[in-house]
Structure 1
């Protein structure tokens, strides 16, 4: 894709042509943060701790598997987490409770995967603070909220900020959108509570840094077909995620020979998008949108996050320090 060549090629000429727009993007971001900091734009404090899981680059870095990891491990530690998300690409007009049966056109694809894999309440809305309030009203047992991809959503106040960085692609050419992939300058990392590097290749200096790897699980059929051997069959890999190369590299590491078919992130698939192949392998995120096709050729590769050192235990210790009685939390009107 052209945008990847611009963002991840050193000194690409089109990147320099786009720098004035990057300066404008930076100025608008600075102004927006100042408006929230001074109270000219209202922010909302929710009555439970809020943990934001985000990134400072555009495109996929691994936020979704990390959020699932956190939800599962916080449950194991005795917490009752909930998840809120913007629901990118969804058309919800009000805070929406998401389940595995929700139409991805309403909620977006990632929230359905979050609800299916984490087994915790998931609500989406473009105003994440409103989504959080709706979730807490419906699930008063929830005592900590995970905000998926909300690092730049300053309307929602947060107690902890976690940033996921792509270990392979890093920060590209180091420029802000649209000249580069950065949503915020790299200096933003120093203000975060923790940095999680997904994959090897990028050293990040931070007081609290963690290494994440995505561990492939067992392939499963989208329609529940019995396992079969693929030897001699034509295999195609189809994905619409922020970093298709990560999925393709995972398949290559498993020794699978296939043709690559990459689509834009959050692509809504139709039957016409599926290639002529005997076997089609997809990500769990894409399986959410392909479920309606009920194609027996489609097989899904699940992945799970593994963290070193133990991020969940570190997070639990941080939560113990910041936890306050519900009555002492200040909630502003929305």
Structure 2
């Protein structure tokens, strides 16, 4: 395991409790909390700095640093809203891509080097238009300019991006909950845990059958989700098999799995829970660049990778590689209906405000 991955695991282990190393870092966390509070106060005192879109804006984010499952929620929400008659568009930071000064938009199969691996994955699965830039309002404006048919915006990440006005917030956490409850660097939180009191939905991403953390102190609607494999796609041929079919044909032999996501062990655990025996697992850092193939030393058996990694691994032309598409199972499927109803009301209100606004 490489040094950055070892350091990351050690940090996450330390953040599970209020031990000595965490306590020694508390003064830095107090400084971070003060900086967070000052930033929020600046936007509260200068509301003109916040960009408010005339369309409903939903932010999917987290307060726990690293991967908690935001992208599957973003994908599921976009697909559900489209099925309900919306035309969703998605904005994202475009982590890992060299965006430049101007926002970049696209739709369908996008180059992860130009858009980032997560935006490329979201665009491929949802077929929704997407725009990327670290400045989310800039991305949003580009999206609306290039895709005027969009009538609802989903921001993949950006809970802490206060320059972007939002009408609904969905926070995603995993089994770690809020960890030791402390803000970086003494703990894993980007913001104090009290931030969860102001979100609309709190979704806890759990391995199938695992119990979650203690319910958060928030009026938000709380539910859990579990990711399950639904399809496997061979990268070289594009052959798609439903998971049960793939398992019947290839699952009788031990397989390998490679993941470069925030929590690789979640991917491996999901595959085992779905009936697969794994002989080798390789955990890579999140957003790994795949400058060279990490698959050469693995045995000549199926190698399963995440859909997020697949967008960067097609070029290796390795017949052993299969991408696993997953789908979330929600403990409360009605949350989508509630979100849809809320967004309809928000859209009507914004339309009425725009119609009665003074014109130049």
What is the TM-score normalised by the length of structure 2? 0.85
Distance 2:179 2:355 in 1: 40
2:105 paired residue among 71, 76, 97: 97
2:204–2:212 Cα contact (<8 Å) kept: no
2:257 alignment partner in structure 1: 237
Partner of 1:276: 298
Q: What residue number does 2:115 align with?
A: 107
Aligned to 1:316: 340
* Distance in 2 separating the partners of 1:311 and 1:223: 38
Q: How far is the alpha carbon of 1:203 from its aligned partner?
A: 3.7
Q: Contact 2:87–2:150 at 8 Å: present in 1 too?
A: yes
**RCO higher in 1 or 2 (8 Å CA, sep ≥ 6)?**
1
CA–CA separation in structure 1 for the residues paired with 2:324 and 2:356: 43
> Is the Cα contact below 8 Å between 1:57 and 1:183 reproduced in 2?
yes
Alpha-carbon distance between aligned partners in 2 of 1:100 and 1:13, rounded to the nearest angstrom: 49
Shift of 1:291: 1.7
Structure 2: which 5+ residue stretches go unaligned? Answer: 1-8, 240-245
- 1:16 aligned partner: 23
Structure 2 CA distance, aligned partners of 1:266 and 1:27? 30
The residue that corresponds to 2:324 in the other structure is 301
* 2:230 counterpart of 1:217: yes
Q: Which residue of 2 aligns with 1:139?
A: 147
* Structure-1 separation of matches of 2:314 and 2:115: 15
Structure-1 residue corresponding to 2:243: none
Instruction: Answer yes or no: is the 8 Å Cα contact 1:48–1:329 preserved in 2.
Output: no
CA change 1:32–1:41 in 2 (3 A) is: farther
- Structure 1 unaligned segments of length 5 or more: list them: none
* C-alpha deviation, 1:98, in angstroms: 3.5
- TM-score (normalizing by structure 1): 0.92
Aligned mates of 2:40, 2:263 — CA distance in 1: 28
Conserved in 2, the CA contact under 8 Å of 1:55 and 1:149? yes
Residues 139 and 60 (structure 1), Cα distance of their counterparts in 2 relative to 1, 3 Å cut: same
* Residue of structure 2 in register with 1:201 after alignment: 212
8 Å CA contact 2:110, 2:124 repeated in 1: no
CA RMSD of the aligned region, Å? 2.1
Are 2:275 and 1:251 aligned? no
The residue matched to 1:216 in structure 2 has which SS?
strand
Taking the aligned partners of 2:309 and 2:42, their CA distance within structure 1 comes to 37
User: 1: CA distance between counterparts of 2:162 and 2:171?
Assistant: 15
Match of 2:6 in 1: none
* Alignment equivalent of 2:313, drawn from 242, 265, 290: 290
Distance, in Å, in 1 between the alignment partners of 2:41 and 2:125 is 37
Query: Alpha-carbon deviations, 1:219-267, whole Å to 9, x = none?
Result: 221112666525445x221111111121011011123222221111111
Distance 1:225 1:195, change over 3 A: closer
| Moved >3 Å (runs of 4+) | 98-101, 225-228, 230-233
